């Protein structure tokens, strides 16, 4: 199983889309508090459609407790990296760590001892960032592809 970790997400629609991503791929979604919304938020529910019961989601009080549940390596997705997300050889149990929509990953998270490395996603010059759920989808599908789309129908 692959893992996605959202560190203090702010926008319910992004997390709802990640819930749907979890349901469709079998990845575990870890949400690190504080969340910028209530888990019962209508925008979160609408973005996740009827996939909430199919997704694997856990809310954690802090980053340490979330990363303690990751059996594999942790890859931080950030614009402050030279390695591209396609340049990593993903393994079962690996996790993708993504920061909040407004600020990305703080330096403290990037230097966490569980973080194995940093990776970036290609963008055109001058673009600040991709949508959080889109970034998770791009990198997760690459990792899942490398693992042979295990569990796919």
Residue 96 CB partners (closer than 8 Å, separation 6+): 2, 3, 4, 5, 75, 77, 136, 139, 140, 143
User: Which stretches does DSSP call E strand in the chain?
Assistant: 3-7, 28-32, 56-60, 74-77, 95-98, 115-119
Q: Tell me whether the omega of the peptide bond preceding residue 88 falls within 30 degrees of 0, making it cis.
A: no
Question: Domain extents for the chain?
Answer: 3-146
Tell me: pLDDT of 13 over 90. Answer: no
Residue 19 CB partners (closer than 8 Å, separation 6+): 29, 44, 47, 48, 51, 52, 55, 57
How far CA 45 is from CA of 20, 21, 38, in Å, comes to 10, 13, 10
Tell me: pLDDT of 45 over 90. Answer: no
Give the model confidence (pLDDT) of 83-101 as tens digits. 999 999 999 999 999 999 9
What CA–CA distance (Å, rounded) separates 60 from 123?
A: 31
Give the model confidence (pLDDT) of 97-150 as tens digits. 999 999 999 999 999 999 999 999 999 988 888 999 999 999 999 999 999 999
The CATH classification of domain 3-146, taken from the options 1.10.357.10, 3.40.50.2300, 3.10.180.10, 3.40.1280.10: 3.40.1280.10
Give the tokens for residue 84.
């591209």
Three-class HEC string of 70-105: CCCCEEEECCCCCCEHHHCCCCCCCEEEECECCCEC
| Phi-psi region at 8: left, alpha or beta (left = phi > 0; alpha = psi -120 to 50) | left
The DSSP output letter for 27 is P
The helix (run of H) or strand (run of E) holding residue 134 is helix 132-146
Residue 44 has a pLDDT of: 63
Give the model confidence (pLDDT) of 46-70 as tens digits. 655 566 677 889 999 999 999 999 9
């Amino acid at each position: 199983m692959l893992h996605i970790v959202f560190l203090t997400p702010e926008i319910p629609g992004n997390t709802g889309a990640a819930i749907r991503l979890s349901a469709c791929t079998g990845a575990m979604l870890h949400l690190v508090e504080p969340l910028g919304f209530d888990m019962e938020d209508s925008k979160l529910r609408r973005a996740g459609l009827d996939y909430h019961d199919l997704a694997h989601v856990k809310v954690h009080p802090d980053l340490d407790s979330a990363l303690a549940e990751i059996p594999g390596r942790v890859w931080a997705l950030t614009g402050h990296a030279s390695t591209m997300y396609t340049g990593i050889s993903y393994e079962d149990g690996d996790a993708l760590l993504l920061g909040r929509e407004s600020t990305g990953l703080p330096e403290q998270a990037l230097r966490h001892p569980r973080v194995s490395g940093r990776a970036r996603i290609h963008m055109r010059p001058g673009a600040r960032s991709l949508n959080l759920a889109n970034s998770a989808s791009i990198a997760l599908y690459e990792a899942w592809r490398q693992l042979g789309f295990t569990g796919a129908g």
